[in-house]
Chains A and B, each alone.
Chain A
Amino acid sequence: MSVNEKTDNHPGGSSVPASGLVSSLGPTPDASLRLPLLALFGGAALWLVAGSALALIASIKFHAPDFLADDPLLTYGRVQPAADDALLYGFCLPAGLGVTLWLLAHLGRTPIRGAVVPLVAANLWHVGVFIGILSILGGDSTGFRWLEFPRAGSVVLFFAYLLLALWATMNFAGRRERLLYPSHWFLVAALFWFPWIYSTANLFLVAWPVRGIVQFVINSWFANNLLLIWPGLVGIGTAFYFLPKFAGRPLRSYYLALYAFWTLILFGSWCGIPPGAPVPAWLPAASSFAALLTLVPVIAVGLVMVQTLRGGEKAAFAGGPFCFIRFGLGSFLLATLMLIVTECPGMSRVTAFTWFGPAQTGLQLLGFFAMTVFGAIYYLLPRVVGFEWPFPKLVRAQFWFSAAGIVLFVVPLAVGGLVQGTKLSRPEIAFLDAVGAMLPFLRASTTGLLLLFIGNLLFAANIFGLTLVWKWSLLKPALAAGRAAFQSAEVKA
């Protein structure tokens, strides 16, 4: 299939959006997406900043246990899950859905009809996250990892997601360009994935809870699908759209991408039950085997990345979105390898219950997913709004703050986790010594969180700056008209 033609939906395929050009070349889907995307990305940017602020508070508590200790709302066990959920539900999911909407509309060359529905759904989603985060801080968490939002929040989220997914699916079904591009598989599968796992988890764990340890099994299955598969599908689908665009050559290759898709959803969805868990032995054994097989999609994605970029005209796209997406894909490979290590029975003896796990999650959500989505948003939002970024220099600055922050957050926690695990497996070392050995690593990771927080502020500044520029452009003609009317009224008087 002719991939070049399909990836080149933008006139000239250039990275410079020209607001004048868009309207002169007939309707693109961009204008129809403006309101929903601004709502999705604006709220996501707010949650990103709020989430990293909460993560910073939680992290400081390891150095100063008395820090904000007297307020039950800010105790570690509430702030940490609130920070995690603000990142995942507040940023990753809505930002990923926004990018999905844009990609589907562009690949199918079809504007969104009835954009008011996704606009309402986007705001509804952020209301749901708000309810959920407040509930966690207030002590109403369900207690299930990555499913902490109580009913009031999760019901709102579920329906908001259904509306957004329905609109994306309708746009996909009614697309004018019928040819399918590899990104389609990843994005459409992700749309379908979340409602199934989220409803299963909420029905079996919260609404009519199953008994005993089955709760833990279902929780692990849900968390793995939510952290590995959903972000994996959306992030790789996005990267497979942008890589050829940046390299100026087709995706290499169609079949390798199809292979990565199939193996990721077939094998990846069976990971997540840790070796040694207090469950029947076949469950972790199946998970370990699936984790080993997950090497296949990792290799396939790596090959697609290398073969597509090798010899491409990178120079034209150095900096900006390309850096983000390359960093994101690299993190995906590394984060998935780390996951495979934690599921391997021999290695898990060292990594189990250590900070290696949070390091893996951090790399997956921040290093891979958030960075990929940042890159996509930096590319697409100016085209959607019709204006350049108000602070273009901050894009570059954010890349460096976020990249350094992720490295400083993930590497010390991963290395520290291995140190901690080695010490924990030697019972002659006192437990508090193993905890103490972790402190320098935690300190470094707190610094990483601080850099991430700054990077997130820069991202939010550009998103809200762009929104303001656009709103001002709407207001200016109205003001001018008003002033003219006022002046003519004066003249008449």
Chain B
Amino acid sequence: MKNGFGIFLAAFVALAASWCGFVLAPEKQLGGATETAVLNSSDTYPLQRPGDAALGLQVYRANGCAACHTEQVRQDGIVASVVLVKPGKNPEAVTNLMSTLKLAGLSKEDADAAAAKIKTAGGAAEVHIAATGPDIARGWGMRQSVAVDYLYDDVVQPGNLRAGPDLANIGVREPDANWQLTHLYAPAGVVKGSPMPPFRYLFELRKIGDAPSPDALRFAAGYSLPAGYEVIPTPEAKELAAYLLSLRANAPLHSAPISP
């Protein structure tokens, strides 16, 4: 390159190419995405998060929860199995046929083929699909996370480090608001050995007045507060808990089929 304009041109070409690839094209492909149908159901997915949960997303952002937690489940693949629904008019023949077939640990195609054979024998079978992989085995979700899971979130924070567990389905795993709140207040008091820092600044520790507040946290046995004190969540804590409870990315979708 002999002159300065050449450098400018080289940089422009390279950067414009990657800009078109990773900014423009994804926006064209996904920017207009809409809700999608839930498999075998008339529901659509995802739903807007309720108001307090949407506010809770901003508490999640402001306190940098994504520095330690991901919100994306991965799967290695799927495994299909065949389940008999109706033996039909000739149950003996169907049972005999099924004893010769492999019914579990199949690929989708093999399972469909087996189900078709059962159907020709007069029975009715269903193909069940389950996702596989370490995340799934840990119970972090029933399927992998897909693009549409994040449709209504602003800011989208899938995270990049698992210093703590994945939260994509924390609302399914721990559906109790009191559990979420006590865990935020005293993580190690709820999950023994948890290295998560406590978020006591989202709560108020105060003397019990004439009567205990209905809002006060109910701690599990083994965790004790100073006598005569109770812990009241601030509005931010309640919103954050509502957001965590709203994290339920497990609807079966065309892009991530599973059998519920």
- Residues of chain A touching chain B, judged by Cβ–Cβ distance below 8 Å, are 61-62, 65-66, 69-72, 75-78, 80-81, 139-145, 172-173, 180, 184-185, 188-189, 192-193, 196-197, 200, 204, 209-218, 220-221, 225, 258, 261-262, 265-266, 269-270, 272-274, 276-280, 283, 286, 352-355, 357-358, 424-427, 431-432, 435-436, 438-439
Residue of A nearest to B76 (CB): A349
Contact B193 A269 (CB under 8 A): no
The stretch that binds A, out of B94-102, B146-154, B225-233, is B146-154
CB <8 Å contact, A145 and B160: yes
Q: Is B158 in contact with A65, judged by CB distance below 8 angstroms? A: no
B159-209, CB < 8 A from A: 159-165, 187-188, 191, 193-201
By the criterion CB–CB under 8 Å, are A278 and B198 in contact? no
What number of B residues sit within 8 Å (CB to CB) of A? Answer: 71
The 8 Å CB contact of B67, one of A81, A173, A211, A273, is A81
26 A-B pairs with C-beta separation under 8 A: A65-B194, A65-B195, A69-B199, A71-B201, A75-B64, A75-B197, A76-B67, A139-B63, A140-B62, A188-B4, A196-B15, A197-B15, A200-B19, A211-B33, A212-B151, A212-B153, A217-B26, A220-B22, A225-B15, A269-B17, A269-B18, A276-B74, A277-B158, A278-B145, A353-B161, A435-B195
Interface-side segment among B5-13, B107-115, B119-127, B216-224: B5-13
Chain B positions within 8 Å of A265 at CB level: 10-11, 14-15
Distance in Å from the Cβ of B241 to the closest Cβ of chain A? 16
User: Are A81's CB and B64's CB within 8 A?
Assistant: yes
Q: Is there an interface contact between B10 and A262, defined as CB atoms closer than 8 Å?
A: yes
- Within B52-74, the residues touching A (CB, 8 Å) are 61-68, 70, 72, 74
Residues of B within 8 A of A65 (CB): 187-188, 194-198
B4, A213: Cβ atoms under 8 Å? no
Q: Lowest 7 CB-CB distances: which A-B pairs, in order?
A: A77-B64, A427-B137, A139-B62, A143-B61, A143-B155, A269-B18, A189-B11
User: Which among B148, B158, B159 has the highest number of chain A CB atoms within 10 Å?
Assistant: B158
Taking a contact as CB atoms closer than 8 A, the residue among B146, B160, B165, B199 that contacts A75 in the complex is B199
How distant is the Cα of A204 from the Cα of B31 in the complex, in angstroms?
Answer: 11
Scoring A139, A212, A266 by chain B CB atoms within 10 A of each residue's CB, the highest score goes to: A212
B250 to chain A, nearest CB (A): 14
Residue from the list A62, A69, A192, A273 in contact with B22, Cβ < 8 A: A273
Q: B26 contacts which of A141, A180, A283 (Cβ < 8 Å)?
A: A283
Q: Are A212 and B195 in contact (CB under 8 A)?
A: no
Known contacts: A214-B31, A353-B160. The answer to whether A196 contacts B19 by CB under 8 A is yes
Which residue in chain B gives the minimum CB-CB distance to A290? B18
In the complex, what residues of B have CB within 8 A of residue A225's CB?
15, 18
- Assess whether B187 is in contact with A189, with CB atoms less than 8 Å apart: no
Given contacts A77-B63, A77-B68, A278-B149, contact A215 B10 (CB under 8 A): no
Nearest chain B CB to A225's CB is how many angstroms away? 7
Contact among B64, B138, B144 with A431 in the assembled complex (CB-CB below 8 Å): B138
B21, B68, B152, B156: most-surrounded residue (chain A CB, <10 A): B156
Interface residues of B in 1-53 (CB under 8 A from A): 1-4, 7-8, 10-12, 14-15, 17-19, 21-23, 26-27, 29-31, 33
**B158:A216 contact, CB within 8 angstroms:** yes
A286–B30 CB distance below 8 A: no
Known: A77-B68, A140-B62. A210 touches B31 (CB 8 A): yes
B91 contacts A by Cβ under 8 Å = no
> Do residues A76 and B64 form an inter-chain contact, with CB atoms below 8 A?
yes
Closest to A62 in B: B195
Complex-state Cα separation, A139 to B58, whole angstroms: 9
CA separation between A355 and B67, bound complex, in Å? 12
Interface status of B157 (Cβ within 8 A of chain A)? yes
- Separation of A435 and B156 alpha carbons in the complex (Å): 25
Shortest beta-carbon distance from A234 to chain B in Å = 13
B260 contacts chain A at the CB level, 8 A cutoff: no
Name the B residues within 8 Å of A425 (CB-CB): 134
Do residues A144 and B10 form an inter-chain contact, with CB atoms below 8 A? no
Report Cα–Cα, A184/B26, bound state, in Å: 33
CB pair A212–B30 under 8 Å, yes or no, is yes
- Assuming the A-B contacts A188-B4, A273-B22, are A278 and B67 also in contact, with contact meaning beta carbons closer than 8 angstroms in the complex? no
Q: Is the CB of A69 within 8 A of B198?
A: yes
In angstroms, Cα B14 to Cα A188, docked, is: 14
Quick one: closest A residue to B19, CB to CB? A200
A269 to B17, CA, bound (A): 9
Contact, CB under 8 Å: A72 / B197: no
By CB atoms of chain A within 10 A, which of B4, B64, B155 has the most? B64
Please pick, from B14, B30, B187, the residue contacting A280 in the complex, using a CB distance under 8 A: B30
User: A262–B13 Cα gap in the complex (Å)?
Assistant: 10
Q: Of residues B19, B134, B188, B195, which shows the largest number of chain A Cβ atoms within 10 Å of its Cβ? A: B195
- Give 20 A-B pairs besides A204-B23, A217-B23 with Cβ atoms closer than 8 angstroms: A76-B68, A77-B64, A141-B64, A143-B66, A185-B7, A192-B11, A204-B27, A211-B31, A215-B156, A216-B150, A262-B10, A266-B17, A269-B14, A276-B74, A278-B149, A279-B26, A352-B74, A353-B70, A425-B134, A439-B195
Asked if B11 and A215 make an inter-chain contact with CB atoms under 8 angstroms apart, the answer reads: no
B197/A61 in contact, CB under 8 A = yes
A352 to B198, CA, bound (A): 26
B22/A270 in contact, CB under 8 A: yes
Contact present for A143 and B198 (CB under 8 Å): no
Nearest opposing residue in chain A for B60, CB measure: A143
Partner of B29, one of A211, A280, A427: A280
How far, in angstroms, from A134 to B62 measured CA to CA in the complex? 13
Establish whether residues B155 and A144, one from each chain, have CB atoms under 8 Å apart when the complex forms: yes
- A70 to B162: give the CA distance in the assembly, Å: 23
Bound state CA distance, A278 and B199, in angstroms?
30
Alpha-carbon distance A187/B191, docked complex (angstroms):
51
